[in-house]
Amino acid sequence: MALGRRDRTALMIGALAVGLFVLLQFVVFPLAEKQRRLERGIAVREKAVQEMRDMQKRYRQLHARANSLHARLEKRSPDFSLFSFLEKMAAMTGVKESIVYMKPSTIQGDGPFRQNMVEMKLQGITLQQLVDLLKMVEAPENIVAIKRITIQENKKEQGMLDVIMQVVTVERAAGTGG
């Protein structure tokens, strides 16, 4: 069967079209898709690396803070007791007789530290006595801070205050000596 020139041209164009389709469908498009997948994978991994760097930076900051806390604990008197510290500060500010109660408690954390807390209720103190007590209690060198404080007017005496405060400190957990 002899094909005419027109038929041969049409057949060649058809063969080229099929060849181009096969080339695009089975070579170019898969390569382009693989390239996009690789680029997405690289972007995801770059983001993961950046997150790891951020976490490493945060870890170093926390580690430095923990080391700083260890150093501050080393400077504090080894026989430091939050309860006796608060009694001493209350005596120095003249509010020891106004103490209604002091309730100590300990919160054990997962790390190398535990938190000691004393809830202290004072009744019938002046604002100046409270201010003086707070100045003395919040002692950075002793790693002592006020966690929560509630101040109310005393119902019996005009100009006097009733105060409930939670005072906290940090110390090494048992078995994590320096």
pLDDT of 142 reads 78
Strand order in the sheet with 113-125: 99-108, 113-125, 161-172, 144-153
- Rounded to whole angstroms, the Cα distance separating 163 from 127 reads 10
Whether 157 and 140 map to the same domain: the answer is yes
- Rounded to whole angstroms, the Cα distance separating 99 from 84 reads 13
| Last residue of one domain, picked from the residues 75, 107, 122 | 75
Whether 117 and 158 map to the same domain: the answer is yes
Number of structural domains in the chain: 2
Whether 138 and 92 map to the same domain: the answer is yes
User: Is residue 120 included in any domain, yes or no?
Assistant: yes
Whether 104 and 168 map to the same domain: the answer is yes
User: Is residue 16 included in any domain, yes or no?
Assistant: yes
pLDDT in tens, 107-149: 776 677 788 999 999 999 999 999 999 999 987 777 899 999 9
User: Is residue 177 included in any domain, yes or no?
Assistant: no
Residues 6+ apart with CB under 8 A from 100: 121, 122, 123
pLDDT band at 174 (very low <50, low <70, confident <90, very high): low
| Last residue of one domain, picked from the residues 75, 98, 131 | 75
Whether 70 and 126 map to the same domain: the answer is no
Q: For the residues of 88-113, what is the DSSP string, one character each?
A: HHHHHHT-GGGEEEEEEEEEE-SSSE
Whether 98 and 143 map to the same domain: the answer is yes
Whether 70 and 106 map to the same domain: the answer is no
Token duo for residue 19: 């060849």
User: Is residue 178 included in any domain, yes or no?
Assistant: no
Among the listed residues 113, 129, 132, 120, the one whose alpha carbon sits nearest the alpha carbon of residue 170: 113
Whether 127 and 159 map to the same domain: the answer is yes
Whether 33 and 107 map to the same domain: the answer is no
- Give the structural domain span for 99: 79-172
| Last residue of one domain, picked from the residues 75, 91, 126 | 75
Q: Which residues pair with 123 in a beta bridge?
A: 162
pTM of the predicted structure, to 2 decimals: 0.60
Q: Which residues pair with 168 in a beta bridge?
A: 117, 145
